Amino acid sequence: MEPSPNKFKSKIDKIFKRFPQFGKLLSSLFGLFEVSILEFLRRISKKFNKYSIAWLSRSILKGRWGSKVVPLNRNISVDTRFLPTQEILEIILRSKVVGVSWCYCRSVQRKYNAPNCDHPLYTCFHIGFGKSLYEIPGRSENLKRISKEEIIKLLNECDDRGLVHQLIYFPSPQFYYVICNCCPCCCMTMSNFLKGGSPQMIKSDFIAETDLNICKNCGECEPRCYFGARKIVNGRLRFNSIKCMGCGICVPKCPQKAISLKKK
């Protein structure tokens, strides 16, 4: 009797959990060739007018490659306890960052004069070797080539600009090789997700809650939610918790400080 795909998948993940070095090696190898893979897929998509990245994720990678949304700690409610694996600053500080590099997606958009934004190019944190979220709670800070102060400053700037912090992973959501700050107009992962395709974006472990006693229904949060979870209808805020990704970028722009991230 053939094992079901889910059982096979579960066995693979158990191996990765038991031997994280194996997952980290695969993550590093994939990250090494990622730009070449993305450029190849971009050319295929342009020539055949197909969402080749979405097809690759659905048909071949099947959830093994994509991104996980992780919020910045300043947007999380002070009474919420969270693990280092659930907040972007802690993850970065424990990832042996070797530098910040240019964003492939934004550079391509600007190179070919495609609709884009004025967000900075250098917003991707690169790490020397693939990392495992399984190991983060026991790791200590060890940064290279970029100071803790510079990282915090860049993260806060990205948060203010409304960029979504994401871990780009392979071969499972527990292993990541680059940390990006993404916008929906340029990011391949996010734009394909918003169009209903893949690679799949995984929600964070948080959800944005609004104190309706404080909220003035001003609508400032609506354009900050790329996922359609916040809408002003007939002058009142309507919040769709299912669509909320828990990115937290709606939090800092609320003039009433009525929004905060809570643990699910």
* Order of strands, sheet of 175-182, starting from the edge strand that comes earlier in the sequence: 97-102, 122-132, 175-182, 164-169, 66-69, 201-202
Q: What is the CATH number of the domain that holds 261?
A: 3.30.70.20
Residue matched to tokens 């600007």: 110
The pLDDT of residue 165: 96
Compute the distance between CA of residue 173 and CA of residue 66 in angstroms, rounded to an integer: 8
Q: What is the mean pLDDT of residues 61-72?
A: 86
Among the candidates 155, 173, 202, a domain finishes at 202
Residue matched to tokens 């080749």: 52
Could you give the C-alpha distances from 214 to 99, 241, 254, in angstroms and in order? 41, 19, 10
Identify the weakest region by mean pLDDT among 55-69, 139-153, 200-214. 139-153
Residue 264 domain-assigned? Answer: yes
Residue matched to tokens 């203010």: 160
Residues 165 and 221 in one domain: no
Residue 69 domain-assigned? Answer: yes
Residue 129 or 57, more confident: 129
List the structure tokens of 136.
Answer: 């983060």
Tell me how many domains the chain contains: 2
Q: What is the mean pLDDT of residues 107-133?
A: 87
Residues 100 and 163 in one domain: yes
The pLDDT of residue 180: 94
In this prediction the pTM is 0.86
Among the candidates 185, 202, 219, a domain finishes at 202
Helix, strand, or coil here: 209? strand
SS3 percent helix, strand, coil of the chain, rounded to 5, is: 40, 20, 40
Could you give the C-alpha distances from 202 to 2, 38, 96, 165, in angstroms and in order? 29, 20, 23, 12
Q: How far is CA 185 from the centre of its chain?
A: 15
Residues 164 and 213 in one domain: no
The pLDDT of residue 3: 45
Residue 2 domain-assigned? Answer: no
Residue 258 domain-assigned? Answer: yes
Residues 186 and 218 in one domain: no
The residue length of the chain stands at 264
Residues 170 and 210 in one domain: no
Handedness of CA 47, 48, 50, 52 (dihedral sign): negative
Q: What is the mean pLDDT of residues 201-217?
A: 94
Residue 1 domain-assigned? Answer: no
On average, the pLDDT of the chain sits at 86
Among the candidates 159, 182, 202, a domain finishes at 202
Residues 181 and 64 in one domain: yes
Residues 63 and 164 in one domain: yes
Residue 3 domain-assigned? Answer: no
Q: Convert the pLDDT of each residue in 121-160 to its tens digit.
A: 999 998 888 999 888 876 555 555 678 888 889 999 999 9
Residue 179 domain-assigned? Answer: yes
Compute the distance between CA of residue 158 and CA of residue 165 in angstroms, rounded to an integer: 8
- Do residues 213 and 245 make contact, with C-beta atoms less than 8 angstroms apart? no
The pLDDT of residue 149: 85
Q: 164: domain range? A: 8-202
**pLDDT of 181 higher than 70:** yes
The pLDDT of residue 2: 41
Residue 207 or 13, more confident: 207
Q: What is the mean pLDDT of residues 107-134?
A: 87
Residue 25 domain-assigned? Answer: yes
Name every residue whose Cβ is closer than 8 Å to that of residue 249 and which is 6 or more positions away in sequence: 75, 159, 162, 163, 164, 224, 225
Q: Convert the pLDDT of each residue in 152-172 to its tens digit.
A: 899 999 999 999 999 999 999
Residues 15 and 27 in one domain: yes
Residue 150 or 46, more confident: 150
Residue burial 162-185, b: 16+ Cβ < 10 Å; e: rest: bbbbbbbbbbbbbbbbbbbbbbeb
List the structure tokens of 147.
Answer: 């100071």
Work out whether strand 66-69 and strand 201-202 pair parallel, antiparallel, or are unpaired: parallel
Q: Convert the pLDDT of each residue in 69-101 to its tens digit.
A: 999 988 998 888 888 889 998 898 888 888 888
Question: Which among 264, 246, 259, 221 has a CA at the least distance from the CA of 77?
Answer: 259
Q: How far is CA 187 from the centre of its chain?
A: 10
The pLDDT of residue 4: 47
Compute the distance between CA of residue 65 and CA of residue 61 in angstroms, rounded to an integer: 6
Residues 171 and 262 in one domain: no
Residues 130 and 58 in one domain: yes
Residues 12 and 143 in one domain: yes
Residues 157 and 260 in one domain: no
Work out whether strand 175-182 and strand 164-169 pair parallel, antiparallel, or are unpaired: antiparallel
Q: Convert the pLDDT of each residue in 230-264 to its tens digit.
A: 999 999 999 999 999 999 999 998 999 999 999 98
Q: What is the mean pLDDT of residues 163-182?
A: 93
Residue 3: cis peptide before it, omega within 30 degrees of 0: no
**pLDDT of 8 higher than 70:** no
The pLDDT of residue 143: 52
